[in-house]
Amino acid sequence: MMDVYLVRHAIAHERNPARWPNDALRPLTTAGREKFIIAAKGLARHLPKSAMVLTSPFVRARETADMLARAAKLRKPVDARELAAGAPTGKGFELLRAHRRKAIVLVGHEPNLSAWLSVALAGDGARISMEFKKGGAACLRFEQTIAPGRATLAWMLPPRVLRSMR
């Protein structure tokens, strides 16, 4: 059995090619950091101490993952290019199978997370409509096989609910 926690990066600066020609370098806003620090405390209450944190290498996701790891007293997050914005959905399953843990946190981007969540729950080609807010989280459980259509949704919470749980 594996629990997979999906976390969308917190509020980042708007795209600005003049300021960040490489969008991977676009950071979180001050407000995004402040709000997510509170949300991370709420989320930390639901993460096992053995959870491994894997993050997109994009700055905004890495900053989010670092705050979560500190709040939950977890090991330093590990960059995973499979979680970068625009990465193919199938890469997420390969990533989980490669790490084989009871609990893994994946910090990434939209629309990747919603697409991956849809495929994990309903199978290849599925597209479940959902709103995955910045700084929000979801928990999926794979009982045996880590494959499309084999997950069960345990919960999905917006950041305002996570902030209220601290």
Model confidence over 88-101: pLDDT tens digits? 888 899 999 999 89
For CA atoms 155, 161, 165, 166, give the dihedral sign: positive
Q: Which of 8, 1, 156, 133 is nearest to 68 (CA)?
A: 8
**The tokens of 50 are what?**
């053995």
d(CA 90, CA 107): 16
Q: What is the mean pLDDT of each run of 10 residues along the chain (166 residues)?
A: 97 96 97 97 95 98 98 97 89 91 96 94 87 96 95 96 91
Domains delineated in the chain: 2-164 (3.40.50.1240)
Model confidence over 129-154: pLDDT tens digits? 888 999 999 999 999 899 999 999 99
